[in-house]
């Protein structure tokens, strides 16, 4: 059976290591802020090249903590893509900020720098509102164009958060995700390229003050001890069990990234040219959280997949600017053309390190026959 994401095969490969890691936590009994949490953070710093890694309870909290660290205030405008999972947007509203929805590039599904800059100018000069932050989402596994985005941010005095929930492990030029923006957040949700067996997240930065502030805020704003509070905070701690699991998964992560790229290369080489396969750009190395096609006659293709028992997913059928809680946010006229088009034409194929060639051949044959017989 073809699986969209195969966590079972991975688990079986490292079952003994995972079992021992969990046993060690049970033996020492320090379930919150155990030694595994600090060790994982140091290993993630080494892996990413970022000076500081602060773990937290999940990827959504990571975004909230990042926004709090950068002092997002009520009615400050945050520029973010509509074509992303809702967590990127809901955190802005949770902290009473305003969202200006930005279009994405059809080539890589990431935030469009040209549309970003024109939107910043419109918000500042026409709407007379206060631009504060940019959240660039690394959709489907490859980083956004941070060279251009960081340049725009400096020009207009904005801060940048990289939402790396789908891209941790990827790189741009000689820098890895975690080291491409002032603050990077990620998620360790089980289906992510590096996932635990529950919820988990992390924030990366090279800024000492920001790192210390986030360390405090993730633990109720704690100062020198638990009854000394120096910031408004929250309870968002990665538990020792999940940290122990991630340490073991991190040991095979580079190999799994290599295998993901092999799967993507095989798709790219053998899929018909009558569909648009994903494009890796800007000196990027993708971690391939998803392998997403642009297709015509998607509904008919879905039915064909279902007959062949080939799993698929649609990311995202309803972009955030169309969702009820966010319909009153800032949408500049005619600025979301790509987003409105992509929602009707994207479809994601099975993608994981353990997808074998026979399984891929069935998927490829099904797609090619569907389009080449038309």
Nearest Cα to 181, choosing from 172, 190, 189? 172
Same-domain pairing of 34 and 130: yes
Q: What average pLDDT score do residues 159-173 get? A: 98
Residues 236 and 298 in one domain: no
Residue 337 included in any domain: yes
Query: What pLDDT, on the 0 to 100 scale, is given for residue 282?
Result: 82
Contact 113, 152 (CB under 8 A): yes
Contact 81, 137 (CB under 8 A): yes
- Rounded CA gap, 38 and 339, in Å? 40
Per-residue pLDDT tens over the stretch 347-372: 999 999 999 999 999 999 999 999 98
187, 257: one domain? no
Judge whether 352 and 260 are in contact, CB under 8 Å.
yes
For residue 124, the 8-state DSSP code is: I
- Considering its fold, how many domains does the chain have in total? 2
Residue 168 lies in a domain: yes
Residue 326 and residue 257 share a domain? yes
Q: What is the pTM of this model?
A: 0.97
How far is 62 from 164, CA to CA, in rounded Å? 10
Question: Would the pLDDT of 374 be above 70?
Answer: no
* Interacting residues of 351 by C-beta distance below 8 A, sequence separation 6+: 4, 5, 260, 263, 264, 288, 289, 290, 291
Angle at alpha carbon of residue 296, lines to 292 and 297, rounded to 5°:
115
In this structure, is residue 24 part of a structural domain?
yes
pLDDT in tens, 110-145: 999 999 999 999 999 999 999 999 999 999 999 999
DSSP state letters, 296-353: SSHHHHHHHHHHHT---B-S-SS-GGGSGGGTTSB--TT--HHHHHHTTTEEEE---T
Given 233, 251, 269, the domain boundary residue is: 251
Q: Say if residue 236 is in the same domain as residue 96.
A: yes
Please provide the DSSP assignment of 33-54 as one string: S-HHHHHHHHHHHHHH--SEEE
> How far separated are the first and last CA of the chain, in Å rounded?
28
**Distance in angstroms (rounded) separating the CA atoms of residues 139 and 157:** 25
Largest CA distance in the chain: 70
Residues 237 and 366 placed together within one structural domain of the fold: no
Domain end point (choices 251, 286, 314) = 251
Q: What is the pLDDT of residues 200-229, one digit of tens each?
A: 999 999 999 999 999 999 999 999 988 999
CATH code of the domain in which 308 resides: 3.90.1150.10
- Domain housing 344: 253-372
- In terms of domains, do 246 and 258 share one? no
pLDDT tens profile 6-38: 999 999 999 999 999 999 999 999 999 999 999
If pLDDT is split at 50, 70 and 90, which confidence band does 173 have? Answer: very high
Residues 6+ apart with CB under 8 A from 88: 63, 80, 81, 135, 137, 163, 320
Same domain, 216 and 266: no
Q: Which of 108, 179, 93, 101 is nearest to 139 (CA)?
A: 108
- Mean pLDDT within 309-326: 97
What pLDDT digit, counting tens, does each position of 33-82 carry?
A: 999 999 999 999 999 999 999 999 999 999 999 999 999 999 999 999 99
Cα 151 off chain centre by: 22
**Do 186 and 38 sit in the same domain of this protein?**
yes
- Predicted confidence (pLDDT) at residue 242 exceeds the cutoff of 90: yes
* Beta sheet of 98-102, edge-to-edge order: 52-56, 201-205, 183-187, 159-163, 131-137, 77-81, 98-102
Do 13 and 143 fall within a single domain? yes
Phi, psi at 355, each rounded to 5°: -75, 115
Query: What is residue 267's predicted lDDT score, i.e. its pLDDT?
Result: 98
Q: What is the C-alpha separation between 65 and 81, in angstroms, rounded? A: 19
Does residue 201 share a domain with residue 162?
yes
Contact predicate 311/55, CB 8 Å: no
**Are 317 and 330 contained in the same domain?**
yes
In a domain, 2, yes or no: no
CATH number for 199: 3.40.640.10
User: Mean pLDDT throughout 171-197?
Assistant: 98
Q: Give the rounded percent of residues in the chain with a pLDDT score beyond 70.
A: 100
The reply to whether 1 falls in a domain is no
Task: Write the CA distances from 227 to 105, 224, 235, 325, integer angstroms.
Answer: 48, 8, 14, 37
Residue 113 CA to residue 104 CA, distance in Å, equals: 8
Choose the final residue of a domain: 227, 251, 275. Answer: 251
């Amino acid at each position: 059976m073809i699986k969209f994401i195969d966590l079972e095969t991975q688990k079986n490969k490292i079952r003994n290591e995972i079992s021992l890691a969990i046993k060690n936590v049970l033996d020492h009994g320090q379930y919150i802020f155990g030694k595994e949490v600090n060790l994982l953070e140091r290993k993630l710093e080494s892996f990413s090249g970022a000076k500081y890694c602060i773990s937290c309870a999940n990827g959504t909290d990571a975004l909230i903590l990042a926004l709090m660290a950068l002092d997002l205030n009520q009615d400050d405008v945050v520029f973010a893509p509509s074509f992303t999972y809702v967590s990127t947007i809901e955190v802005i509203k949770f902290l009473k900020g305003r969202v200006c929805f930005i279009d994405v590039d059809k080539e890589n599904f990431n935030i469009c720098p040209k549309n970003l800059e024109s939107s910043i100018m419109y918000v500042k000069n026409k709407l007379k509102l206060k631009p504060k932050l940019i959240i660039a989402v690394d959709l489907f596994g490859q980083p956004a164009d941070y060279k251009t985005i960081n340049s725009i941010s400096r020009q207009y005095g904005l801060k940048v958060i990289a939402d790396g929930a789908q891209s941790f492990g990827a790189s741009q030029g000689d820098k890895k995700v975690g080291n491409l923006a002032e603050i990077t957040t990620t998620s360790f949700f089980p289906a992510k390229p590096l996932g635990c067996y529950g919820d988990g997240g992390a924030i990366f930065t090279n800024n000492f003050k920001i790192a210390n502030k986030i360390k405090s805020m993730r633990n109720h704003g704690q100062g020198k001890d638990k009854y000394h509070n120096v910031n408004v905070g929250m309870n968002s701690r990665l538990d020792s069990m999940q940290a122990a699991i991630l340490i073991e998964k991190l040991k095979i992560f580079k190999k799994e990234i290599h295998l993901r790229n092999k799967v993507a290369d095989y798709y790219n080489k053998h899929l018909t040219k009558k569909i648009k396969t994903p494009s890796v750009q800007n000196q990027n190395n993708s971690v391939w959280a998803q392998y997403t096609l642009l297709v015509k006659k998607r509904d008919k293709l879905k039915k064909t997949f279902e007959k062949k028992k080939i799993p698929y997913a649609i990311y995202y059928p309803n972009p955030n600017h169309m969702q009820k809680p966010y319909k009153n946010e800032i949408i500049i006229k005619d600025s979301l053309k790509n987003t409105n088009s992509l929602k009707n034409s994207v479809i994601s194929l099975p993608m994981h390190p353990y997808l074998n060639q026979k399984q891929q051949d069935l998927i490829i044959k099904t797609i090619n026959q569907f389009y080449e017989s038309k």
